[in-house]
């Protein structure tokens, strides 16, 4: 059975104080995780608050990751953060290619592929975010877009590393809109992704998270789908109550 991952993407929110208090509140209210229930929990705070969140989550089992990273190992790249820096701060995973990075910071499929390649040279786990826009869905391009986003990465990476990648399917039209994909739409996309990736890797063990307006109310329906292995949660991860409620739901499904 694939482990469920419940991940909170805080985006550019919180202050030093509120990052600390949110992480502590999540750590305190975390339902006691039964190790046999195979659930992982991870937080993705802004870079500058990573050490604080790592400290607040120490010995709780909550993992900490970053929202993006550089494709370069080190050097004259003002403002960038490398995988080694993240590791030294206690991260064990990193989001790559979130749609907001693609949309606002012009991250192309090729750049995303280079970033995943660089993450895989480190012990960090990359969570590769993919998803179609509303226009692409409405014009029947969903499968072609997902395929392009996946193939750009998978064709570049050494086959022995491919099993380390986690996918997050996040339809752009569902992110931050309050309109999540229906469980049928999400399952259809996840099953497509799994089938498509079976040409590159052992897709049965691949974890595919759903992201886009996941809430405490719709989590059960989404997480009950056979190909949905967790959730990447934005808005609802900024309140300990809703985030912990989603974790409890995941726990009850295992």
Q: Under the criterion CB under 6 A, does residue 211 sit at the interface with ligand PGA? A: yes
Work out whether strand 4-9 and strand 230-233 pair parallel, antiparallel, or are unpaired: parallel
Q: Under the criterion CB under 6 A, does residue 171 sit at the interface with ligand PGA? A: no
Find the binder of ligand PGA among 146, 223, 234, 249 (CB under 6 A).
234
170 included as an active-site residue:
yes
Nearest approach in angstroms of CB 202 to ligand PGA is 26
Q: Applying CB under 6 A, which part among 113-121, 158-166, 182-190, 211-219 lies near ligand PGA?
A: 211-219
Q: Under the criterion CB under 6 A, does residue 93 sit at the interface with ligand PGA? A: no
98 included as an active-site residue:
yes
Detail the DSSP E strand segments found in 61-220: 63-66, 93-96, 125-130, 166-169, 208-211
Nearest approach in angstroms of CB 161 to ligand PGA is 24
Q: Under the criterion CB under 6 A, does residue 232 sit at the interface with ligand PGA? A: yes
Question: If 0-12 CB within 10 Å is exposed, 13-18 middle and 19+ buried, where does residue 254 land?
Answer: middle
The secondary structure of 146-178 as a DSSP string is HHHHHHHHHTTS-GGGGGG-EEEE--GGGTTTS
**Considering beta carbons, is residue 9 or 122 the nearer one to ligand PGA?**
9
Among the listed residues 170, 187, 190, 251, the single catalytic one is: 170
- Contact flags string 9-48 toward ligand PGA, x per CB under 6 A: x---------------------------------------
Residue nearest to ligand PGA (CB): 234
User: Do 153 and 128 form a contact (C-beta atoms < 8 A)?
Assistant: yes
Residue 218's contacts (CB-CB under 8 Å, 6 or more residues apart) are 180
Residue 233: strand, helix, or coil: strand
How many whole angstroms from its chain centre is CA 46?
Answer: 14
Alpha carbon distance 71, 81 (integer Å): 9
**Considering beta carbons, is residue 109 or 215 the nearer one to ligand PGA?**
215
Alpha carbon distance 83, 68 (integer Å): 9
Find the binder of ligand PGA among 40, 132, 170, 187 (CB under 6 A).
170
User: Which residues are the active-site residues?
Assistant: 98, 170
Chain residues binding ligand PGA by CB under 6 A are 9, 170, 175-176, 211-214, 232-236
């Amino acid at each position: 059975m694939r482990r469920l991952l419940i991940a909170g993407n805080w985006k550019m929110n919180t202050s030093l104080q509120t990052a600390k208090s949110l992480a502590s509140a999540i750590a305190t209210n975390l339902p006691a995780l039964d190790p046999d229930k195979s659930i992982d929990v991870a937080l993705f705070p802004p870079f500058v608050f990573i050490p604080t969140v790592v400290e607040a989550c120490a010995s709780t089992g909550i993992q900490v990751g970053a929202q993006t990273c550089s494709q370069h190992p080190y050097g004259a790249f003002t403002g960038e953060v490398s995988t080694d820096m993240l590791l030294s701060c206690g991260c064990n995973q990193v989001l790559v290619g979130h749609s907001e990075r693609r949309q606002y910071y012009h991250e192309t499929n090729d750049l995303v592929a280079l970033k995943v390649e660089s993450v895989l040279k480190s012990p960090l786990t990359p969570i590769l975010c993919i998803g179609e826009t509303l226009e692409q869905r409405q014009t029947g391009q969903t499968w072609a877009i997902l395929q392009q986003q996946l193939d750009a990465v998978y064709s570049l990476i050494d086959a022995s590393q491919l099993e380390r990648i986690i996918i997050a399917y996040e339809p752009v039209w569902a992110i931050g809109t309050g309109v999540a994909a229906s469980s049928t739409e999400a399952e259809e996309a996840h099953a497509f992704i799994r089938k498509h990736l079976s040409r590159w890797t052992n897709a049965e063990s691949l974890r595919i998270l759903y992201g886009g307006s996941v809430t405490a109310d719709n989590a059960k329906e989404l997480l009950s789908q056979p190909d949905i292995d967790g959730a990447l949660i934005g808005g609802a991860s900024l309140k300990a109550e809703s985030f912990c409620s989603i974790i409890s739901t995941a726990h009850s499904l295992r």
